[in-house]
Structure 1
């Protein structure tokens, strides 16, 4: 089965407390999840009791399945239970909604709005049960990879209060010409999708009305894959193949704190026990407070449904002054950036940085051009470099300009990589794009007395004297820093993992 590659035992709450319409398929729905648990060696606990919705209980589970439980006649949850469910998702929990989980209508207040966003929409109406054709839009997802391009099956074909496409990663949609009904969605009719939402993962399918569908092998694999994905242990979300030396892992799917809608005030480093805790908003030097916060873009189809942070002359800063010093004084480094670029806004010519920790003499009168960074030319040629504090100036032998002369295309996602060797004499700096083959390289003389500054994402340094002036315009979905040069074999494995996870094309 799909989860044969997953060694961790997924823990699933198979939940069916309801308040409304009673499907004849309720019993077989519960039995199907229990069966999937048996064949996959999951721990499955079945409950029809809302008193089980406590923080202590939910913390045991990777995924809660709302298993065809309607809420169209009245509320299912108390206010306290609603808060528990929200906290569970906020803390990284997984949600799988089946069929009538989209018809929980009567919870009221802010929770009702939150829940409908968690599902993606709300079920509204349907014609009689009949055969229809589903179009598989995403064959790369673990829940749909087994399905034919077109899947014909008998079920109930709901319309929704709104089309969720702009907010979710649509996995399959309904061919509206293949069934008869008065109420349709105007030709674009998503029917199964997933999304990263409010700190957690949500998978929803409107399929699941009939008794017969629960014994359909394709349907069972669909739900199985949805549970694995929602648990965080699908193929797309397995751990990085190389963890030794990893000191920064910024993942736009996790650890984002929002302020003022979709604006990001903090991006948490996902490396456990790191002294580099998070990258935070910087207001110092800006005329308008909060204007330096990038925004969060959710569920990008081209990235297999992952999120990205959108920078428009904005930055997030880690305040640890010394966390990265050793990377340019002998240890070496490797960094990875899943990113896309926009048209660059005029600033300092050729310096549109997407990260850096430079210390420059003209800022604090203490440093002398030291640190490492990367950015784009005005026409989106990507470059990287290190600075050793021996010589000033923008580019020279002590401040090498490692440049790829082929511009990146706008609105296309790339994997950009930089690597600097270890040692105390001269080492090699290499730039890679979507490949193990370097597109540019130069030598760099090590100075063991160099002392870089704070690390910034979206800018070349803690530029309080001109925030946004040397920043880039574009997106970053994942950003990694290792405190050592990865071997070619490690580099290859990590490139393969990231390109598969984020659907990056060679």
Structure 2
């Protein structure tokens, strides 16, 4: 009988160790990316003439927000039809070359996570923005999986730390910043309720104009789990969730909202995305 108990105990112990190891491997991959391949072949671009062109890029090599990505595409395409934009959707990095990027007014990293471009493609995007192009990032585009200093500095102006885990999704009142650009202020709701995975960054975004913020003291910000014991902090009362920056002759726009497909069913959020695109397309 004792032998049976020992076998059961060791089997249970082995399962616990295996699950722990798998969890640790998964967390490492989320932060550092899964195996990466870089596409270099230039795609055939089909863009409507006389319409601002948008590159909707949804490649992931880190955590994939698949439901949010899938929900976003028809909504952004509907916006494009309404506003006479031409949208090219891809998860292939080959389009990130100087010649083809020049055809777009805006590049959207649509919950794009991990290292998704090679060194040459990254440099092409950097030059594109600094020479007058626009870059927008949605939610996962701002996590810490990209390992690209220029991108972190110029899309975010701050560094991602964690997101709450208990609970992961929380309701919060999203408030429009009083100093926001008048063209945005006239089109965006002053306040609305969001239910999202609220990203916590180490600092306020540097050299950025905040568009929306929440009261960080009214959410539970802790991201502690297993071996992580130092992720119990938030950003304080003023917790930005959308902002924009000037980068050389170009500009960037980022929102940390957008984790789930349900977020795309909120008209206030989709209004932010639409107005953010319109702002990004302006010369």
Shorter chain as normaliser: what TM range? 0.7 to 0.9
Q: Which sections of structure 2, spanning at least 5 residues, go unmatched?
A: 1-49, 223-232
Aligned-pair RMSD on alpha carbons?
1.7
Please report how far the alpha carbon of residue 232 of structure 1 lies from its aligned counterpart in structure 2 after TM superposition: 2.1
> Does the CA contact (< 8 Å) of 2:189 and 2:268 recur in 1?
no
Residue 192 of structure 1 aligns with which residue?
242
- In 2, the alpha carbon distance for the partners of 1:60 and 1:148 equals 32
Residue 122 of structure 1 aligns with which residue?
159
Residue 11 of structure 1 aligns with which residue?
53
**Higher RCO (C-alpha under 8 Å, 6+ residues apart):** 2
Larger strand percent: 1
Please report how far the alpha carbon of residue 140 of structure 1 lies from its aligned counterpart in structure 2 after TM superposition: 4.3
Question: For 1:191, what is the secondary structure of its paired residue?
Answer: strand
- In 1, the alpha carbon distance for the partners of 2:151 and 2:202 equals 14
Task: Kindly indicate whether residue 253 of structure 2 is the aligned counterpart of residue 203 of structure 1.
Answer: yes
- In 2, the alpha carbon distance for the partners of 1:19 and 1:174 equals 29
Please report how far the alpha carbon of residue 104 of structure 1 lies from its aligned counterpart in structure 2 after TM superposition: 5.1
1:74-153 matches, within 5 Å, as 75-103=115-143, 105-107=145-147, 112-120=148-156, 121-127=158-164, 128-138=168-178, 140-153=181-194
1:175-324 matches, within 5 Å, as 175-182=215-222, 183-233=233-283
1:23-62 matches, within 5 Å, as 23=65, 24-62=67-105
Please give the per-residue CA displacement for 1:264-290, whole angstroms capped at 9, x wherever unaligned: xxxxxxxxxxxxxxxxxxxxxxxxxxx
Q: TM-score, normalised by structure 2?
A: 0.72
Residue 212 of structure 2 aligns with which residue?
172
Please report how far the alpha carbon of residue 124 of structure 1 lies from its aligned counterpart in structure 2 after TM superposition: 2.0
- In 2, the alpha carbon distance for the partners of 1:142 and 1:193 equals 14
Distance change in 2, residues 1:180/1:211 (3 Å): same
> Does the CA contact (< 8 Å) of 1:143 and 1:221 recur in 2?
no
* Greater Cα radius of gyration, structure 1 or 2: 1
Please give the per-residue CA displacement for 1:204-249, whole angstroms capped at 9, x wherever unaligned: 111101211112222112111111111225xxxxxxxxxxxxxxxx
Shift >4 Å, 4+ stretches = none
Residue 106 of structure 2 aligns with which residue?
63
Larger helix percent: 2
Q: TM-score, normalised by structure 1?
A: 0.41
Please report how far the alpha carbon of residue 92 of structure 1 lies from its aligned counterpart in structure 2 after TM superposition: 0.2
Please give the per-residue CA displacement for 1:112-132, whole angstroms capped at 9, x wherever unaligned: 221111122232211111111
